């Protein structure tokens, strides 16, 4: 069973469950660390296991541009290639439509001011970023070497199949904040058409893989050296459809109904962290919460601030991904559990993990632990002064120590959340 609910809250739609993947079980609700290019920045895979990080998210677009999905497939898939021995999710590349289109808009504004924004590759001038969006798909120019890359629903699924993540996403168009109703409606309907094409491609690749394995095993069985027909294992991958609809309630509800009724293993809510206010983001999740499936996992894309998590888990969200804990760590922002456990256990939506800026001068002479109430390796072995020193002198170890601690705190937070659901406080 891919997903099972172990405890359903009587106070809200929050639930405790398990997502069962080829590479391990994810206890939900759970935080998904972001490992865009096949690495959670500054952290060894071995340390992720020590932190008890349950899952990470890799970016299909970036892995296509470099090193290329063929080399990842040849290496045996993303887990073997990177050493990430935990369940992995991959995105579809759809978010890059949003991010690169936004850059293209910025470029257009700069061009109107007579800026020259062409760049050269092998002495040939190229136009940057997004080239074209159509019903067929999207054409990008690689930010790595300028080559043209095409993403269609079929190609996105093929890329993700070669990457080999446990959970993959259907191709979608992430709608930029501020889009008018007509554009949002058009983009959402396009996402729905792309979902059906993604499902068809996903199923056909699975069928072809099974046929290939059956033929291979038949040949092996007829050989003199036959020992075991199952010497090659097909790893199960699971497909999520993505809900869009922008800031329009009717479009959000139409989208969730379409996605949930489709033949997908789980659903993800997209386009809720693209520039809108917290109030608007919460409304978008609330609109669809009553339509979310009871028997499939639900992922919220790009959301990971503490107060957001505490609020939105009550709408039935099972997994969250966000760059914030790791990005803030690399900037010297350190999460603090101090005096927060009791507050978080009350599950007040206003509760927040405290943060300190370790670069501030006052920490130069502070020999206290990084966090007095944390039992992670960093807090048991180092002090604020040392971490301040590492950041100020730009030592690479600073990023590792800070990232380790922040991810540890996120895991503790989700342990408390699961406990709160099981004990009837959420």
What's this model's pTM, rounded to 2 decimal places?
Answer: 0.90
Contacts of 182 (CB under 8 A, 6+ apart): none
Look at the block and give the residue holding tokens 């191709």.
171
Per-residue pLDDT of the chain (426 residues; tens, 9 = 90+): 999 999 999 999 999 999 999 999 999 999 999 999 999 999 999 999 999 999 999 999 999 999 999 999 999 999 999 999 999 999 998 887 666 655 544 444 434 434 344 444 455 555 546 667 889 998 877 767 777 889 999 999 999 999 999 999 999 999 888 899 999 999 999 999 999 999 999 999 999 888 877 777 777 666 655 555 444 556 789 999 999 999 999 999 999 999 999 999 999 999 998 888 999 999 999 999 999 999 999 999 999 999 899 999 999 999 999 999 999 999 999 999 865 455 555 555 445 578 999 999 999 999 999 999 999 999 999 999 999 999 999 999 999 999 999 999 999 999 999 999 999 999
* CB-facing half-sphere around the CA of 286: CA atoms within 13 A: 8
Q: Quote the pLDDT of residue 222.
A: 67
Q: Which of 308, 311, 321, 371 is catalytic?
A: 321
Q: Quote the pLDDT of residue 132.
A: 76
Q: Quote the pLDDT of residue 348.
A: 54
**371 a catalytic residue:** no
Contacts of 377 (CB under 8 A, 6+ apart): 50, 404
Which structural domains are found in the chain, ordered by start? 3-90+157-222+237-322 (3.20.20.105), 328-422 (no CATH)
DSSP-assigned letter for residue 372: T
Q: Which of 91, 166, 308, 318 is catalytic?
A: 91
Q: Quote the pLDDT of residue 211.
A: 84
Question: Taking a C-beta distance cutoff of 8 angstroms, is the pair 167, 196 a contact?
Answer: no
Q: Quote the pLDDT of residue 116.
A: 40
192 membership: H or E segment, kind and range: helix 181-221
**321 a catalytic residue:** yes
Q: Quote the pLDDT of residue 131.
A: 67
């Amino acid at each position: 069973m891919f997903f099972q609910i172990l405890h359903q809250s009587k106070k809200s739609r929050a639930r405790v469950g398990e997502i069962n993947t080829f590479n391990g079980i994810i206890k939900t609700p759970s935080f998904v660390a972001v490992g865009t290019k096949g690495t959670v920045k500054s952290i060894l895979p071995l340390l992720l296991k020590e932190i008890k990080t349950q899952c990470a998210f890799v970016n299909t677009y970036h892995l296509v541009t470099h090193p290329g999905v063929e080399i990842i497939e040849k290496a045996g898939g993303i887990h073997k290639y990177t050493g990430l021995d935990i369940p992995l999710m991959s995105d579809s590349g759809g978010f890059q439509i949003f991010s690169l289109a936004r850059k293209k808009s910025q470029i257009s504004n700069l061009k109107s001011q007579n800026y020259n924004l062409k760049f050269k590759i092998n002495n040939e001038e190229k136009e940057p970023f997004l080239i074209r969006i159509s019903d067929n798909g999207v054409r990008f120019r690689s930010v790595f070497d300028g080559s043209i890359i095409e993403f269609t629903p079929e190609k996105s699924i093929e890329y993700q199949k070669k990457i080999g993540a446990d959970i993959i996403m259907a191709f979608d168009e992430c709608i930029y904040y501020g889009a008018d109703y007509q554009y949002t409606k058009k983009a959402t309907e396009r996402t729905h058409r792309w979902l059906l094409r993604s499902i068809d491609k996903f199923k056909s690749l699975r069928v072809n893989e099974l046929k290939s394995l059956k033929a291979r095993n038949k040949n092996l069985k007829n050989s003199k050296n036959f020992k075991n027909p199952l010497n090659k294992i097909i790893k199960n991958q699971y497909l999520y459809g993505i809900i869009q609809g922008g800031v329009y309630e009717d479009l959000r509800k139409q989208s969730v109904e379409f996605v949930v009724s489709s033949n997908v293993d789980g659903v993800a809510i997209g386009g809720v962290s693209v520039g809108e206010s917290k109030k608007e983001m919460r409304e978008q999740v609330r609109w669809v919460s009553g339509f979310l499936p009871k028997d499939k996992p639900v992922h919220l894309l790009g959301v990971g601030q503490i107060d957001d998590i505490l609020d939105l888990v009550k709408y039935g969200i099972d997994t969250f991904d966000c760059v914030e804990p790791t990005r803030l760590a690399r900037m010297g922002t350190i999460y603090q559990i101090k005096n927060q456990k009791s507050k978080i256990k009350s599950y007040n939506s206003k509760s927040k993990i405290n943060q300190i800026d370790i670069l501030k001068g006052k920490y130069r002479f502070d020999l206290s632990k990084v966090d007095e109430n944390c039992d992670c390796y960093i807090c048991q072995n180092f002090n604020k002064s040392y971490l301040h020193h590492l950041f100020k002198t730009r030592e690479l170890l600073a990023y590792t120590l800070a990232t380790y601690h922040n991810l540890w705190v996120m895991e503790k937070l989700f342990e408390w959340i699961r406990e709160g659901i099981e004990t009837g406080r959420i």
